[in-house]
Amino acid sequence: MDIETDILIIGGGSAGTMAAVVAKEQNPAADVTIIEKGEISRSGSIAMGMDALNIVVQPGITTPELYMKSAKIATEGILDYKPSYAMAERSYSILKRLEEWGIRFPKDEENNYISLQVHAKGSFLLEMDSPDLKLVLAKKVKEAGVNVINRTIVTKLLVKNNQIYGAMGFNIRTGEFIVCKAKATILANGGCARFSLPNSGYLHGTFDYPGNAGDGYSLAYRAGAQLTGFEFAQCSPLIKDINCPLLYITLTRGAEVVNAHGETIDLEYVSTQNMLKELRKGKGPIFIKMNHLSEERIQEIERILFTVERPIQKKFWENRGIDFRQGLIELGETEYQLCGGHGMTGIVVNEKAETTLKGLYAAGDVACVPFQHLTGAFVFGEVAAEEAVKFVKKIDFGEVDKSLINEEERRLQSIMDRNKIGTISVQEFEYKVRRTISDYAIPPKNATKLKRFLWWLPRFREEMKDIQITDHHELSKFEEIRFILDSAELSVHASLAREESRWGWFHYRTDFPEKDDKNWLKHVVLELGLKSGEVQTYLVPIDKGGEN
């Protein structure tokens, strides 16, 4: 299938759907296409609903400047000023847009939005009551007249002279090869949730959306874009065995965290680092305790958990025989992930969502706007759309070398043909890759461990020829292993480059155990060496533009 579109959006989650709707608002005549690996009505990190908008600057109550002070604490200074400020500045208008779409933000008796403090400074998190947020977004996309291509994985961007002209991929059910030429392309396909292994060993039992395998990171890297923050490998203490979130929902409403000795853990604000420290000290397991709360407050928590934030929790607790009024909720460490929403990893972007490649924009978890959460996905989906609409007015469709398209189609077909006689299942191979990531690429780190992963890396890539591929769904999983390996390679190189420890446990190096602001208050930026074909690492100063 050959397609031409003005704006191609890769990924139909929060950022992608917002970008599509806004692009059509900006120019109703523009042809806008979303390519989504899943099904747009239930895809992306939220998949269903959401209980909060994490960052909202309310006029007269908080300010973008106060948010920036909080963000500097959370990132320990490793963030560029302009993108994060732009997110904070536009956050309230995003809330108002969502309200116009029917999304409910509860208010108190005085008609004020209900805000909760989870940041170091300021109450920026606003309660949201939207169990069907993703359905609302998908409906808005349909009403806008956006072309949606579901169940299609993008395997390569079309690039010529450092400019992106679209992408290639295939339908994971039919195998149909798809070439989509575009004047502008927006990457909105998430982070890398499938990084290390969950304790359950189940490949898709991840905290974040398991369809996020680092696709966008790999696509951008292979096309020549710059990326950063890959040394920030993050885990969270969440509900043991199912990795479901509940910290913000319970702790902001009076719940406590206690260790195995029954001692209450001082959280400062909602600090996962303090919880992880208890586990490192051998004081685990740790638990959420709610039996001191009123019945009204517990029912409020249950309503949110069981209707908005992963409703499967209700059945889970019933099967375990646990009542929040009496029992403790055990927390366990999740797998490690790379993410620009909950963390600091992603494609380098400026305040206009522009990457370092012409015609390529990035929004949401795939972009490096540290700790942007859902707000950042919506804001930069909006920004990317506005900028892409302006960009496409200036250019025509570029001519792409047909041989590049033929080469990618032949590569995919050869994997199908060659790997039918493979002896290793795609699931077994992914397990081995992610087990090795768990062994060598996550905290605690040191040079020897990290280099051991680099020793394994070429062997994995060579041995992929032994993976058995029997259908196009398995071929898509094969491609996801490529993305995971690229993400891990970038993470290891970034971790080797940053010769200090920073962000608590998330970049703890036993050979450099201290934080070193004098030498390391800077970005570690990565890109593909066009001549060497290897990861190139650069140290880039923090952009403090506009900061007082």
Residue 548 — pLDDT band, cuts 50, 70, 90?
A: low
Phi-psi region of 191 (alpha: psi -120 to 50; beta: other; left: phi over 0): beta
Query: Taking all residues of the chain, what is their mean pLDDT, rounded to a whole number?
Result: 94
Other Cβ atoms within 10 Å of 360 Cβ, number: 28
Other Cβ atoms within 10 Å of 435 Cβ, number: 13
pLDDT tens digits along 81-111: 999 999 999 999 999 999 999 999 999 999 9
SS3 per-residue string spanning 246-264: CHHHHHCCCCEEECCCCCE
Residue 546 — pLDDT band, cuts 50, 70, 90?
A: low
Please compute the mean of the pLDDT values over residues 253-277 and round it to a whole number.
Answer: 89
- The whole-number pLDDT of residue 252 equals 87
**Residues 11-30 as b or e (16 or more Cβ within 10 Å = b):** bbbbbbbbbbbbbbebbeeb
- The whole-number pLDDT of residue 547 equals 63
- The whole-number pLDDT of residue 262 equals 93
Closest CA to 487 of 173, 289, 220, 260: 220
The distance from CA 436 to its chain's CA centroid, rounded to whole angstroms, is 22
Closest CA to 349 of 364, 339, 361, 365: 361
Q: What angle do CA 530, 536, 538 make, to 5 degrees?
A: 130
CB proximity list for 150: less than 8 A, separation 6 or greater: 12, 36, 38, 39, 40
Looking at the domain that runs over 2-55+78-86+131-233+337-392, which CATH code has it been given? 3.50.50.60
Answer yes or no: is pLDDT of 210 > 60. yes
Rounded alpha-carbon distances, angstroms, from residue 258 to 87, 325, 331: 35, 15, 10
Q: CA-to-CA distance for 115 and 134, rounded, in angstroms? A: 22
Q: 132-136, 178-182, 323-327: which range is least confident on average?
A: 323-327
List, in sequence order, every residue forming a beta bridge with 346; answer none if it has no partner. Answer: 228
Q: Which helix (H) or strand (E) holds 510?
A: none
> Is 13:48 a contact under the CB 8 Å cutoff?
no
pLDDT tens digits along 9-52: 999 999 999 999 999 999 999 999 999 999 999 999 988 889 89
Looking at the domain that runs over 237-333, which CATH code has it been given? 3.90.700.10
For 408-541, give the CATH class: mainly alpha
The distance from CA 494 to its chain's CA centroid, rounded to whole angstroms, is 18
Rounded alpha-carbon distances, angstroms, from residue 184 to 10, 63, 251: 11, 33, 43
Q: Which residue has the tokens 């209700």?
A: 314
Q: What SS3 class is residue 137?
A: helix
Rounded alpha-carbon distances, angstroms, from residue 362 to 15, 212, 248, 545: 9, 15, 27, 21
Please compute the mean of the pLDDT values over residues 425-449 and round it to a whole number.
Answer: 97
Answer yes or no: is pLDDT of 419 > 80. no
Q: Which helix (H) or strand (E) holds 220?
A: helix 215-223
Q: What is the pTM for the complete model shown?
A: 0.96
Q: Where are the domains of the chain?
A: 2-55+78-86+131-233+337-392, 56-77+87-130, 237-333, 408-541
Q: CA-to-CA distance for 139 and 149, rounded, in angstroms? A: 15
